[in-house]
């Protein structure tokens, strides 16, 4: 999981309050069944206190100077303890535990698709993909679609998970204040 610059939101969106806790906690809380959760961020000190509440959480610094989700993916793959690595955006506070569990049962490399739209940060990769991701970064590329093309990621339709989230709330990204308001009132 990673958070970007929050430029459209205007401040660190992962730290805004959401239903009595931080927005990022809504995602972390849905991952309590997983043995390891990695929060990759450029501001690790802002989130290290969460490791007390969530014992399966490790907060990792993303040390690249460039702002790119590929850097977060690379950091997660490099530090993951398990062979399969689930990549999720940190700004999806309505994500459903059941959707995540079912998606994690897919065979990597996999990326989620809904109504013709690829959700590039909702992916399942093998830890071994770190080599290809590193080469991709070294080439100066940062487009997630290109990375998934390189990895030959299989697009899995969200319709497979609709029994667990028929409204598709799990895919709501909080990018702007309007998205945040929508999430609060859903």
The pLDDT of residue 175 is 86
Residue with tokens 């299989």: 154
Question: What's the pTM?
Answer: 0.91
Every domain of the chain and the residues it spans: 13-185
Burial 77-97 (b: 16+ CB within 10 A, else e): beebeeeebbbbbbbbbbbbb
Q: How far is CA 141 from CA 15, 63, 134, in A?
A: 29, 17, 10
Residue numbers of the chain with a pLDDT score lower than 50: 2
The pLDDT of residue 64 is 87
CATH architecture entry for 13-185: Alpha-Beta Complex (3.90)
Q: Which residues pair with 156 in a beta bridge?
A: 112
Contact (Cβ atoms closer than 8 angstroms) between residue 37 and residue 48: no
Tallying the residues shown for the chain, one arrives at 186
């Amino acid at each position: 999981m990673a958070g970007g610059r929050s430029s459209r939101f205007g401040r660190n969106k992962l730290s805004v309050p959401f239903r009595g806790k931080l927005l990022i906690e809504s995602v972390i809380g849905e991952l309590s069944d997983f043995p390891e959760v990695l929060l990759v961020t450029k501001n690790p000190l802002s989130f290290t206190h969460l490791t007390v509440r969530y014992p399966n959480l490790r907060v990792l610094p993303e040390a690249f100077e460039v702002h790119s989700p590929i850097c977060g993916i690379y950091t997660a793959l490099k530090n993951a303890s398990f062979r399969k690595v689930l990549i999720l955006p940190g700004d999806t506070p309505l994500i459903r535990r059941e959707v995540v569990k079912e998606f994690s049962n897919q065979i990597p490399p996999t990326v989620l698709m809904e109504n013709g739209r690829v959700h590039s940060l909702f992916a399942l990769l093998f830890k071994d993909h770190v080599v290809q991701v590193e080469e991709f970064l070294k080439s100066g590329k940062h487009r997630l679609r290109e990375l998934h093309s390189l990895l030959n990621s299989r697009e899995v339709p969200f319709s497979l998970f609709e029994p667990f989230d028929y409204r598709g709330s799990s895919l709501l990204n909080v990018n702007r204040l309007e998205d945040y308001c929508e999430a609060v009132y859903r």
